[in-house]
Every structure is written in C-alpha cells, then in structure tokens.
Amino acid sequence: MKPVSLKDVFSFPNPVNEVSARLVAGGVVLLTLVILLGGQTWAIGLLAYGFVARVLTGPTLSPLGQFVTRVLTPALPFEPKMVPGPPKRFAQGIGATLSVAAAVAHFGFGATTLALVLVAMITVAATLESVFAFCLGCQIFAGLMKVGVIPESVCLECSNIWARIPDPAKDPASV
C-alpha cells in the first residue's frame, strides 16, 4: 500500500459523480434546515467545516462526503453520471465562502440574522442542486468561462459541451 501524499489528500475529483454531488447537496439542505428551522445556530460551524473540507479535498475530509461516496451512493440503484469536477469545486467554493461568512457573522460578531440569511442562500442553492440537478455555482462557473474570467484550460471539457453529446451520424450505436 502506497503512502498517502498531501497532494492526494488536497485534490478534488475530476470527473465527479453527479449522483453523489446531488446527495451531498441533499445533506446540506438537511443541515441548513436544522439551522434555520431548528434554531441550531451552533451547526453553522459544521456547515462551514463541511464546505471548506469539500472544496479543499473533495469528499476526503468531509464526513458527509465520505458517507455519501462510500455508503449511500453505492447502496442506491442509480448509475453514475460523471460530470466535470472544476464547476462542482467552484460551487463548493461559493458554499464555503457563504458558510464561513455566516460563521464569522454569527460567532464573531453576533450578527445572527445576517448569518441566517447566508445559510438560507445556501439552502436555496443546495435545494436546486439536490432536487432539480440545477447547480447554480456551475452556471456561474460557465458564465465566467464565457466572459473569459475563468480560462478554458481550467476545464477543457466544460468549454465544449458538444464533445460530450454523441453524434448519431458518427456513432449510430449512440441513438
């Protein structure tokens, strides 16, 4: 067994199984509802940790990511649907930014209302991902690529969606 390097730990999967990504988003929705509806503001710290862990290491240091990728996804009857990793990491980065800002607002400044607004924004985005497979962060990523803020080299597969869609004229078996 080869030793695990820091590069192995601090990497993000590419591609990503969208089934797992949607299940993680569902877990985020549940946690944000505990915060918002259950009044458990202490859990803002858990929310922030999870996002930071996932943006830095994918599922490696995220308890939710580990549960979903090792236990839940394999137990479900869904085929993997692989999607590019960089937009998903970008989306996790937005979640990390909002959740860390919520933690700082609540724990650092006592600005609980601001913190809850930020958590509610996460709830909306995670619900869109988990229920409708609409990744708001991925859409922002695509828009930033389109205007040149994110270079094509970050995600070559993202810049040419048509490369992922089979051409029936070239491959009749794809129809």
User: Can you give the residue ranges of every domain in the chain?
Assistant: 6-174
- State the pLDDT at residue 28: 98
User: pTM of whole model > 0.95?
Assistant: no
What one-character-per-residue DSSP string does 77-113 give?
-PPP-EE-HHHHHHHHHHHHHHHHHHHIIIIIH--HH
Q: From CA 112, how far away is CA 30, in angstroms rounded?
A: 19
89 close to 55: Cβ distance less than 8 angstroms: yes
Name the residue among 115, 46, 59, 116 with its Cα closest to residue 88: 59
- State the pLDDT at residue 9: 82
Per-block average pLDDT, block size 10, for the chain (175 residues)? 78 94 98 98 98 96 97 97 96 98 98 98 98 97 94 81 50 47
98 close to 57: Cβ distance less than 8 angstroms: no
- State the pLDDT at residue 170: 54
- State the pLDDT at residue 174: 45
- State the pLDDT at residue 10: 85
Residues present in the chain in total: 175
Count of CB atoms situated within 10 Å of the CB of 115? 24
